[in-house]
Structure 1
Amino acid sequence: MIDTALLLPPLLPWLICAMAVICGTLIQKLAGAGFGMIAAPAMTIAAPEWVPGTILLLGVLSGIGSFLGARNAVVRTDLPPGFAGRLLGAVLAAFIANAVVGTDALPVIIALVVLLAVALNLAGLSLPITAKTLFGAGMTAGVMGTLTGIGAPPMAILYSGVESRRSAATQNAFFGFGMIVSIGALAVAGLIRMPHIALALSLAPLVLLSLVAVRPLVARFERRAIRPWALGLAALSAVVLLAKSI
């Protein structure tokens, strides 16, 4: 468990966390998914005691900040069933969290979730967007996101065939809401502490700066262009984390 007297990690781990947050935010803004897949493995390697709480706190800022810039493109009728599923998934995950958060099992779980997410993305699965699939994807994302900070892949699969701007905006809406719900679930479980908040506050300006810096690219960005790089970076981070943990 994290030492509450140590609010921030040392400088080098903090810098690794900072780079992970910047990369994750840029990809989240452009593609509507990717913050957790990029940030979680790197931050777990650099500062394992600060995850998943810090990732979730920063994820709220990344998701909502990304959503606000393109909220007029959100498919609003999709939100209620997805939100309901995410809420249920977070509640279920809260019962599991105390058994894995702060243990040696969590890094392994995070690495495997990232590799699973990469595999699902590469598989090219295509599912119809219906109330049932939105609820199911939301619930799966709720469990994954609350335990590991990686909740975007299920929704990313559903929206893989949707026009880029609408897909990214709607996924960012799900991501921002999901992070809030997951934070609530972990807080109730007593797993959000002052060190998580302190590290999140120290990194929050980087999220905001990244959102501003990437803005000129959004209008002409084709999300498929960054997909191979994002998946490759996520997979590499997950493999390193897995090798370090077993």
Structure 2
Amino acid sequence: MYIPQLGRVAIGNDSSVPLRRAYPVVAVGFASGWPSHNIGIVAIDISYPVLVLVSGVVCLGAMLQGSIGFGLGTFSVPILLLLEPLFVPGPMLLVAFFLTLMLLRRERASVAFREVSWGIAGRALGSAVVGVVFLYMASEWMPPLVAVLVLVALGIMASGWKLPITRVSLLGVGFMSGVLGTAASIGGPPLAMLYMHSKGGRVRGTLSGIFVAGTLFSVAALVVSGKFGLREVYLTGLLMPGVLLGFLLSRRTARIADNGYLRPAIIVVSALAAVLSLIRYL
């Protein structure tokens, strides 16, 4: 029998667990205690201090993504893996899906929908190629390699070279985004670097259009593989308040980023993603 301690978040299917000890979001739909029937939820015990820290991390990550078009996963995932790995990957992917939907709606007037379709095609192809490679080859070498490639690309673009946004470049960069996203969880930087000379609304809106499809595909894959269930849905609910707050705050920080800080921010966050990937795998 699972008995949670006071001052801790409890998620479970034991009818003896008092409702007042559960986090309110989890308790939605249950008026008088936990359901007596078995709904297959694995009990989870998360301390309130950890939950507060996790909420703060995803709030900052959501604010970052709402400002420059990407960064929720880049900033949050390495920290969440240290604080509470249960939030990765499923719950983080689902909140990323909701965040990109909200960004897509907010920046809908600036979305280049034709570019979105080519970016999605390239990303899907890159993800598929990595999946095949992982089946037949050792994958340990790929994350460090692609992280180095990101740093090289950043150096080239920081020097002032500008890659034109065409179907070919979108397919190529989308392909690299799919490779990096699948192999090292840093799929945002390639696409962001392509758009770093564009206006802020176009960057945020178009990247959100591409990412919303990618995150949806990833969540669907986890569901099919049996790695996303009711537990992950509850954990997603715990993350959502922080993500919503970060999204609301990003309305102000996005205006700041648009005043000449967008390109430097993209370079810094992309470099951080690559360095963190190298540290993780070396």
**Alpha-carbon distance between aligned partners in 2 of 1:76 and 1:149, rounded to the nearest angstrom:** 24
Contact in 1 for aligned 2:101/2:208 (Cα 8 Å):
yes
How has the CA–CA distance of structure 1 residues 232 and 82 changed in structure 2, closer, same or farther, with 3 Å as cutoff?
closer
Could you tell me how far 1:63 is from its partner in structure 2? 1.3
Gap regions ≥5 residues in structure 1: 100-105
Q: 1:164: which partner in 2?
A: 200
Gap regions ≥5 residues in structure 2: 1-40
Higher-Rg member (1/2): 2
**Alpha-carbon distance between aligned partners in 1 of 2:198 and 2:279, rounded to the nearest angstrom:** 36
Paired letter, 1:58:
V
Higher relative contact order (CA 8 A, sep 6+): 1
- What secondary structure is seen at the aligned counterpart in 1 of 2:210? helix
Contact in 2 for aligned 1:8/1:199 (Cα 8 Å):
no
- The TM-score, its normalising length taken from structure 2, stands at 0.67
Contact in 2 for aligned 1:112/1:238 (Cα 8 Å):
no
Could you tell me how far 1:162 is from its partner in structure 2? 1.5
Q: 1:81: which partner in 2?
A: 118
Q: 1:178: which partner in 2?
A: 214
Between stretches 64-73 and 49-58, larger displacement belongs to: 49-58
Question: Residue 58 of structure 1 is aligned with which of 95, 106, 109?
Answer: 95
Contact in 2 for aligned 1:186/1:192 (Cα 8 Å):
yes
Contact in 2 for aligned 1:63/1:176 (Cα 8 Å):
yes
- What secondary structure is seen at the aligned counterpart in 1 of 2:170? helix
Q: 1:102: which partner in 2?
A: none
Between stretches 146-155 and 217-226, larger displacement belongs to: 217-226
How has the CA–CA distance of structure 1 residues 49 and 93 changed in structure 2, closer, same or farther, with 3 Å as cutoff?
farther
Say whether residues 1:137 and 2:164 are aligned partners.
Answer: no
**Alpha-carbon distance between aligned partners in 1 of 2:174 and 2:185, rounded to the nearest angstrom:** 14
Say whether residues 1:19 and 2:76 are aligned partners.
Answer: no
Q: 1:153: which partner in 2?
A: 189
Across the aligned residues of Structure 1 and Structure 2, the Cα RMSD in angstroms comes to 3.7
Paired letter, 1:218:
A
Report the identity percentage: 28
Paired letter, 2:110:
A
- The TM-score, its normalising length taken from structure 1, stands at 0.76
Give the total of aligned pairs. Answer: 238
Could you tell me how far 1:120 is from its partner in structure 2? 4.0
Contact in 2 for aligned 1:74/1:166 (Cα 8 Å):
yes
Q: 1:103: which partner in 2?
A: none
**Alpha-carbon distance between aligned partners in 1 of 2:187 and 2:84, rounded to the nearest angstrom:** 20
How has the CA–CA distance of structure 1 residues 223 and 234 changed in structure 2, closer, same or farther, with 3 Å as cutoff?
farther
Q: 1:206: which partner in 2?
A: 242
**Alpha-carbon distance between aligned partners in 1 of 2:271 and 2:43, rounded to the nearest angstrom:** 30
How has the CA–CA distance of structure 1 residues 236 and 130 changed in structure 2, closer, same or farther, with 3 Å as cutoff?
closer
Q: 1:188: which partner in 2?
A: 224
- What secondary structure is seen at the aligned counterpart in 2 of 1:173? helix
Alpha-carbon deviations, 1:62-114, whole Å to 9, x = none?
21111211111011221211111222334445567899xxxxxx9x9889877
Contact in 1 for aligned 2:59/2:244 (Cα 8 Å):
no
Paired letter, 2:113:
R
Alpha-carbon deviations, 1:29-72, whole Å to 9, x = none?
11112122111211122223432222211111121111211111
How has the CA–CA distance of structure 1 residues 19 and 167 changed in structure 2, closer, same or farther, with 3 Å as cutoff?
same
